Amino acid sequence: MKFTLSWLKDHLETDATLAEIVERLTSIGLEVEHVDDKSGLKPFVIAKVLTAVQHPDADRLRVLAVDTGDGKPPVQVVCGAPNARAGLIGAFAAPGTYVPGIDVTLTVGKIRGVESHGMMCSERELELSDEHNGIIDLPEDAPVGTSFAAYAHLDDPVIEINLTPNRPDATSVYGIARDLAASGLGRLVGGAIMPHVGNGMCPVKVEIEAPELCPGFALRLVRGVKNGPSPKWLQQRLIAIGLRPISALVDITNYVTFDRGRPLHVFDAKKVAGNLVVRRARDGEKVLALDGREYTLTPEMCVIADDDGVESIAGIMGGEHSGCDENTTDVLIESALWDPIATARTGRTLGIITDARYRFERGVDPEFMVPGVELATRLVLDFCGGTPTEIEVGGTSTPPPPHLYLPPWEGYRDPPQQLPPAEHPAI
């Protein structure tokens, strides 16, 4: 489970340092495996190349005049990058800066007889990627003189914890923040979710034919959305934890999965024929999933189907046919409860590992089924616009309370208050 420090602080109000948070996580059983802290990139600043002229004694080198935004005269930098040019804005390292990708601390030096006071850096030199064909080329509006790490959101440490199967509550940033707050390291915030008043009933109904595999299912239609790129902050958080941004609608489901431990799925409503049915797959039934692979199903597996056939492998992966794309205007948001054992068995049989399966096979919070739709609705309206309907709910989101058997202590004879304190049994 990965998350960034700023993401954690969306839900945890605390003055604790990164080191204190890491120590507390491990002490409460959420063992920290790795911390990716790029604080070493703080000395790099955004700078602009004012001029780029040919090196007098090297065909592949240019002599740059670089404005570092500190109000001082431009600095001279010798650069061999093919994209070095006047007007380029990139990441500059001054003398005295340690460059991790080449394991060198810069000094003022001469390159073919011309002094160089620092360097313009490539992504590989900053260990951001393997790209080394040219120096970093930032947009024209990048603020010259400011921290490159802050601009690129590289000053936000990424924490990775190791989860045991009995900790489904910690498969979300909110759940981790709740544990830290309970341990005394701050205050839990940002948990309230306001319901939305829908415009009419959801026209797509849900029928659950296999309640033993799906005890609850919530669905809402949002009309008139515009599916484009998600906001930059959301893309950066997904990238930080190793996910690829796809589109606003898909990114929202991934965000809610990690933020609240609530996997969701979105259907393009215009590609859904009739109502949705939650049922067992028919023997030999096939579905083309979102990973581009076709899977053959068995009756032990649970699916979401419409009048045309299977649209989703329940709790694991959606189907390609009803997936959302840039042309989607009406979207169905689905939040359901899937049997953990059936989900795990299906995933193993088909060889599919997804973030949704990871959470459903451990068990998700049943009380967050409907609030999960509400949270996704808020994000869809914020990023894509649209008009929501009321939520269609099939089954129930409230499981029966568990029955606990507490066997009597056979050695107990006298009332506790009559025993000396040292003889009280440990409870």
CA distance 136 to 134: 7
| Pairing state between β 206-208 and 276-280 | parallel
Give the three-state DSSP class for 117.
coil
Tokens of 51: 């001029």
Q: Which residue range forms the structural domain that includes residue 291? A: 206-395
According to the model, what pLDDT value does residue 424 have? Answer: 44
The H or E element spanning position 309 is strand 309-313
**Has residue 199 been placed in a domain?**
no
Q: Please, are residues 2 and 159 in contact by the beta-carbon 8 Å criterion?
A: yes
User: In this predicted model, what pLDDT tens digit does every residue of 355-369 receive, in sequence order?
Assistant: 999 999 999 999 999
**Has residue 415 been placed in a domain?**
no
Q: Which amino acid is at 196?
A: H
Nearest C-alpha neighbor of 81 from the set 28, 136, 40: 136
CA distance 301 to 279: 9
Q: Are residues 278 and 352 both part of a single domain?
A: yes
Q: Which DSSP string corresponds to 354-419?
A: -HHHHHHTT---GGGHHHHHHHHHHHHHHHH--EE-PPEEEE-S-PPPPP------TT--S-GGGS
**Has residue 402 been placed in a domain?**
no
Q: Are residues 13 and 45 both part of a single domain?
A: no
CA distance 173 to 240: 14
**Has residue 50 been placed in a domain?**
yes
According to the model, what pLDDT value does residue 152 have? Answer: 85
According to the model, what pLDDT value does residue 425 have? Answer: 47
**Has residue 196 been placed in a domain?**
no
Q: How many CB atoms lie within 10 A of CB 155?
A: 17
The CATH number of the domain where 184 resides is what? 3.30.56.10
Tokens of 172: 């979300």
**Has residue 294 been placed in a domain?**
yes
Q: Are residues 175 and 212 both part of a single domain?
A: no
Confidence of residue 420 (pLDDT cuts 50, 70, 90): low
For range 395-416, the mean pLDDT:
69
CA distance 340 to 13: 33
| Between 241 and 404, residue with greater pLDDT | 241
User: In this predicted model, what pLDDT tens digit does every residue of 138-147 receive, in sequence order?
Assistant: 999 999 999 9
Q: Please, are residues 359 and 243 in contact by the beta-carbon 8 Å criterion?
A: no
Q: Please, are residues 296 and 286 in contact by the beta-carbon 8 Å criterion?
A: yes
Q: Are residues 18 and 47 both part of a single domain?
A: no
The CATH number of the domain where 224 resides is what? 3.50.40.10
Q: Are residues 375 and 238 both part of a single domain?
A: yes
**Has residue 413 been placed in a domain?**
no
Q: Please, are residues 189 and 30 in contact by the beta-carbon 8 Å criterion?
A: no
Q: Are residues 183 and 257 both part of a single domain?
A: no
User: In this predicted model, what pLDDT tens digit does every residue of 249-286 receive, in sequence order?
Assistant: 999 999 999 999 999 999 999 999 999 999 999 999 99
CA 343 to chain centroid: 22
CA distance 423 to 426: 9
What letter would DSSP give residue 53?
E
Residues 6+ apart with CB under 8 A from 271: 321, 322, 323
Q: Are residues 132 and 277 both part of a single domain?
A: no
Q: Structure pTM? A: 0.80
Tokens of 383: 């990023």
Tokens of 65: 């005049």
Tokens of 160: 């990775």
| Pairing state between β 75-79 and 104-105 | unpaired
CA distance 426 to 272: 59
**Has residue 296 been placed in a domain?**
yes
Q: How many CB atoms lie within 10 A of CB 81?
A: 23
Measured between alpha carbons, how far is residue 53 from residues 57, 91, 136, 395 in Å?
Answer: 12, 19, 19, 71
The CATH number of the domain where 75 resides is what? 2.40.50.140
Tokens of 88: 């380029």
CA distance 206 to 392: 7
Q: Are residues 109 and 7 both part of a single domain?
A: no
Q: Flag whether pLDDT at 292 surpasses 50.
A: yes
User: In this predicted model, what pLDDT tens digit does every residue of 1-52 receive, in sequence order?
Assistant: 999 999 999 999 999 999 999 999 999 999 999 998 877 788 999 999 999 9
Q: How many CB atoms lie within 10 A of CB 410?
A: 6
Question: What is the tally of structural domains in the chain?
Answer: 3
Q: Are residues 77 and 215 both part of a single domain?
A: no
Q: Flag whether pLDDT at 307 surpasses 50.
A: yes
CA distance 105 to 122: 16
Q: Are residues 302 and 385 both part of a single domain?
A: yes
Tokens of 58: 């090297």
Q: Are residues 243 and 373 both part of a single domain?
A: yes
User: In this predicted model, what pLDDT tens digit does every residue of 167-214 receive, in sequence order?
Assistant: 999 999 999 999 999 999 999 998 889 999 999 999 999 999 999 999
CA–CA–CA angle 356, 236, 353 (5° rounding): 20
Q: Are residues 140 and 77 both part of a single domain?
A: yes
Scan for tokens 């808020």, then name that residue.
378
